[in-house]
Amino acid sequence: MTDTPLQLGRATQWPASPEEAVLDRVPNPQADTLYVARFTCPEFTSLCPVTGQPDFAHLVIDYVPKDWLVESKSLKLYLASFRNHGAFHEDCTVAVGRRIHDLLAPHWLRIGGYWYPRGGMPIDVFWQSGAPPADIWLPDQGVPTYRGRG
């Protein structure tokens, strides 16, 4: 958490890049309970670092919080900051997961990046911080593998 006030509840500027984006965290009021929190971003966009053309993904972020929760407005702004950022699918997906993990230090975090095809090939990228806690219910991420029209 930064020394500045949260972005929640006040006007904010769109960050120009993921590096400039501020992620806020708030105390977890249920820190004594193991549970899964999920964020789904079905319209994630970034740019191909070679061609500059847009890439689109459906991101699913699951985490088991400890002391902190990611504040959702700041997460939306952070994810939107990739819109004009050139990076490969793998880099975007892992960078998002690591940034959230570094901010929160949760019990566990996973991210699934389900990238839409470009050049006829979808690329799905998965990262997690380690083994999930025992006895935690982890639902399927709910995004089917790409099947095209057939």
Q: Flag whether 50 is marked binding.
A: no
Q: Flag whether 70 is marked binding.
A: yes
Q: Flag whether 74 is marked binding.
A: no
Q: Of 48, 91, 92, 135, which is the active-site residue?
A: 48
Query: Quick one: which of 107, 104, 110 has its CA closest to 126?
Result: 110
Query: Quick one: which of 141, 6, 16, 140 has its CA closest to 72?
Result: 6
Dig out the tokens for 107 from the structure.
Answer: 């019990």
Q: Flag whether 46 is marked binding.
A: no
Active site residue 24: no
Q: Of 24, 41, 55, 92, which is the active-site residue?
A: 55
Active site residue 41: no
Q: Where are the beta strands (DSSP E) in the chain?
A: 25-27, 37-47, 54-64, 68-70, 108-115, 124-128
Sheet order of strands, 108-115 included: 37-47, 54-64, 108-115, 124-128
Query: Quick one: which of 21, 25, 45 has its CA closest to 37?
Result: 25
Q: Flag whether 43 is marked binding.
A: no
Query: Among all residues, which ones are annotated catalytic?
Result: 48, 55
Known binding-site positions: 70-72, 89-90
Known binding-site positions for substrate: 70-72, 89-90
